Chain A
Amino acid sequence: MPRLLLLCLLCIPLLAAAAPDNAYQQQLIARAHVLHLAADPQWHALLHYIPDELDGGYHSLAVTRNFFNAPDGRDDPRAELDATLRAFFSDQPETDTKQNPQCAFIARYHWLDSRLHFDPQRLPVRQCPRFEQWYHAIDPAQATLIFPAAYMNNPSSMFGHTLLRIDRPGQDEHSRLISYSINFAAQTKETNGVVFAYKGLTGGYIGSFSILPYYQKVQEYSNMDNRDIWEYQLHLTPPEIRRLLEHAWELGPVGFDYYFFTQNCSYQLLTLLDVARPGMNLTAQFPDWAIPSDTIKAVLAQKGMLKKVVYRPSAYTKLSYRLAAMDPEEQRLTYGIAKRDLPLADTQLKRLPITQQADVLEAAYDYRQYMYVSRKWSDEDNNLYAYRLLSARSKLAYTSDPDPVPTPAVRPDQGHDTARAAFTAGREWDRDYLQIALRPAYHDLLDPAGGYTKGAQIDFFDIALRRNLTGRPDTRLQQFTLLDILSLAPRNRFFSPLSWRIAVGWKRVSPQLDPGEPLAAYVDGGFGPTYALSQRTLLTAMVEAQALGSDRLPTGDTLAAGGALSLLYTGGDMNLRLLARRRHYYTARNSEWADYRAALEFKLGAQTSLRLDAGVEGRPDNLFWNAALSLNRYF
């Protein structure tokens, strides 16, 4: 009753101004109740309601007060629906700062109209010129899901990001830069990564939608961050596209609780698609966390959804590809001219055929810009020299191959699923064991490589339970990986990234270090150069350090330092890794440690692989053979 009173009080200004048809209002509300519209999935999608885990009710993820018409609209779908219907009777004219509710909530209006069939005589239709102007500026004909892949040498970004691009009619693949894109992001100017990570994980940010020309996103991802972009053109019907844009319009001024893993960019884009095509229930598939590549798979799993995929290699990818295709003399000239060690009118250059001259000048310009943007070179007159390079290139009447980089054989949505269960039988420290391990996300370097960024590994929350079969049988927690990142980025004349690794978690200490084999916390890290021996083979050397800590270690906390040499071969269906590692433990009894092993993984099917890992490990004077055979299932 008090709520009704409050609502009526709120209605008074409307009543006075518009004299709305009260009887018709009540009739519509009663009809909405009969049809259970407040419980309709589309109403929940439009208002971003999700179920409350505790009391069986609902609450909206939107936090902006104006997104709701009812005072308790955030937690009460039905009160919000009643208030929304009442609001549609408002005669508020549209101004620069105000909209009529029929326009501010235009997707809701059209959905309720489709269900209740508003009588225009009794509920006058309002014109929405601001929406129409905006809609025509965007000129939507098609929606494309955009997935920027990982940064080079930064596996954490493999999780990636997704956004939507709204394509215009009559565009081709080379003029889509001018399309608009719809992007959801946390609103922050935070530059401190630690603060950002902490607040992003704990809900310290508000996220919101923005709409930007696509060329800006391409500049950001492709030209500055060096991330390849995958574009998935979707089959949505014109009414679905219209609904998507109408809902995007409603969301413009709205803030949402932002959580890095759950209510993130990819999750919020799914809400737009859910509104566009009712019944897909995409968001409901991601109640716990939303990994962007998984959300793409969910969208593409809709029958007939995928129209076409376009791969847009980053500036870095194009440049690397071009440099790798050059002979050593062209590479030398490219580097010299980019660095300004050689003059633009170099006689060696002039002796080359015109096609190669063009190739050298184009690559030199791209390389210079890459080094400048990444702040490795900082000539004050960079712009002037870059301009001279372009001018020299324009004098060569030759058009180079516009699109030389081949599209990778496996797309990100076709890679293995991100969770993994591993069933292992093995032998270690002269004991046989069976083990089961579960890794919720994401990819390690031995997992089938297709669709994932080369040389990038990131594992989260890998947990292993082991049953020892030799001696007194026991079952125990063998290890728990909080985070395990490894990045292998090859160096050459042009690029000199440093490969690195870090792993954090808990694992059993070897019996040689402590016979009790306590569970110890560890932090492992290392860095060093990687060289590409071939397209598929990487050789890496790293200096490494480890910290081990446990109350149960007789020696207390301990530190180790050492190095490792590894060779990684990544084939289509087979990966091989050879590793030699030496370590010195600084404990009460200083001890040496060696680990030599080979790991081989075969892809058995789209979501299955077999891994054999064998080698010797232990004190160099007392090495133990160990071997493990694992069946991996991705899901």
Chain B
Amino acid sequence: MIKKLLISTALLTMAVSTSALAANDSTGCGLGTMLMDGKQGVASQVLAVTTNGSSGNQTFGISSGTLGCTKDGVVKSSVKLSMYTGANMQQIASDMSKGHGDSLNTMASLMGIQKQDRAHFYQVAQTNFDKVFTSDKVTAGQVIHNLDGVMATDPQLTRYVS
């Protein structure tokens, strides 16, 4: 009796961290199984795409229908910015309100903003936070659009607006 208890306790305890060494199934191009509490906009739409199982001939592509992924599981360059923004909305919003942070920096690099213009970009983004994040339900597409709008009126940043 005690022996059984012993073994099962050992197993149970190890199981306390199901994460040690093994994560959940990670989908290619990677947007299937993440838990995204409180996420808004594009991210949740992309996340809602169910993974349809993989065919053995694909390389890293997992779900044939994932938006914005190539069949071999990398992000298409045309949607890089929107997919990144969608997946990092909270961090970008938080960085923008503070005027610094890795998530905002990475966004700036995806937008092609030169190093010498970054500090100014952060300041403009912080000052215009309400114009970029217009509500708590804003989507990634709207954020990028709004940011473009703000930058278009700034002499130093207008050249980055596509």
Interface positions of A (Cβ within 8 A of B): 64, 66, 96-99, 130, 133-134, 137-138, 151, 154, 156-161, 171, 174-178, 180, 183, 185-194, 196-198, 200-201, 205, 207, 209-213, 215-216, 219-220, 223-225, 249, 252-253, 258, 260, 264-266, 292, 358, 362, 365-366, 369, 372-373, 382-384, 386-387, 390-391, 393-394, 397-400, 402, 482-483, 485, 502, 504, 521, 523, 547-549, 557
Is B17 touching A151 in the complex (CB atoms < 8 A)? yes
Is A196 touching B15 in the complex (CB atoms < 8 A)? yes
Given contacts A215-B88, A394-B96, contact A180 B74 (CB under 8 A): yes
Is A387 touching B135 in the complex (CB atoms < 8 A)? yes
Is B70 touching A369 in the complex (CB atoms < 8 A)? no
A594 vs B98: C-alpha distance when bound (angstroms) = 55
Please name the residue on chain B nearest to A95 by beta carbon: B57
- Shortest B68–chain A CB gap in Å is 11
Is A211 touching B74 in the complex (CB atoms < 8 A)? yes
Is B84 touching A252 in the complex (CB atoms < 8 A)? no
Please name 17 further chain A to chain B contacts, defined as beta carbons within 8 Å, in addition to the given A188-B25, A384-B136, A394-B126, sorted by A numbering: A133-B72, A177-B102, A188-B24, A189-B24, A192-B15, A210-B28, A213-B87, A219-B87, A292-B21, A362-B98, A390-B129, A391-B130, A397-B126, A504-B6, A504-B9, A549-B6, A557-B1
Please name the residue on chain A nearest to B14 by beta carbon: A197
Can you give 19 A-B contacts (C-beta < 8 A)? A156-B14, A156-B20, A157-B17, A158-B20, A175-B106, A178-B84, A180-B74, A186-B22, A194-B8, A196-B18, A210-B60, A213-B87, A215-B88, A216-B31, A216-B34, A253-B58, A362-B98, A397-B126, A549-B1
Q: Which residue of A171, A192, A399 contacts B100 across the interface (Cβ within 8 Å)?
A: A399
Is A216 touching B30 in the complex (CB atoms < 8 A)? yes
- Shortest B7–chain A CB gap in Å is 9
A180 vs B74: C-alpha distance when bound (angstroms) = 9
A258 vs B73: C-alpha distance when bound (angstroms) = 23
Q: In the A-B complex, list the 10 residue pairs whose CB atoms are closest, starting with the nearest.
A: A549-B2, A193-B15, A394-B129, A212-B30, A252-B59, A387-B136, A156-B17, A137-B74, A197-B15, A390-B97
Is B94 touching A365 in the complex (CB atoms < 8 A)? yes
Residues of A within 8 A of B45 (CB): none
Is B2 touching A521 in the complex (CB atoms < 8 A)? yes
A177 vs B88: C-alpha distance when bound (angstroms) = 10
Contacting A at CB under 8 A, from B5-46, are: 5-6, 8-31, 33-35, 37-38, 40
Please name the residue on chain B nearest to A189 by beta carbon: B25
Is B75 touching A213 in the complex (CB atoms < 8 A)? yes
Is B13 touching A485 in the complex (CB atoms < 8 A)? yes
Residues of B within 8 A of A504 (CB): 6, 9-10, 13
Is B56 an interface residue, CB under 8 A from the partner?
Answer: yes
Is B139 an interface residue, CB under 8 A from the partner?
Answer: no
Residues of B within 8 A of A130 (CB): 59, 71-72
Is B48 an interface residue, CB under 8 A from the partner?
Answer: no
Residues of B within 8 A of A224 (CB): 35
- Shortest B157–chain A CB gap in Å is 17
A154 vs B79: C-alpha distance when bound (angstroms) = 38
Residues of B within 8 A of A382 (CB): 38
- Shortest B95–chain A CB gap in Å is 10
Residues of B within 8 A of A134 (CB): 59-60, 70, 72-74
- Shortest B12–chain A CB gap in Å is 6
Is B24 touching A264 in the complex (CB atoms < 8 A)? no
A35 vs B33: C-alpha distance when bound (angstroms) = 47
Please name the residue on chain A nearest to B96 by beta carbon: A394
Is A394 touching B127 in the complex (CB atoms < 8 A)? yes
Residues of A within 8 A of B55 (CB): 97
Is B10 touching A483 in the complex (CB atoms < 8 A)? yes
Residues of A within 8 A of B137 (CB): 383
Residues of B within 8 A of A174 (CB): 102, 105-106
Is B158 an interface residue, CB under 8 A from the partner?
Answer: no
Is A252 touching B21 in the complex (CB atoms < 8 A)? no
Please name the residue on chain A nearest to B83 by beta carbon: A213
Please name the residue on chain A nearest to B130 by beta carbon: A391
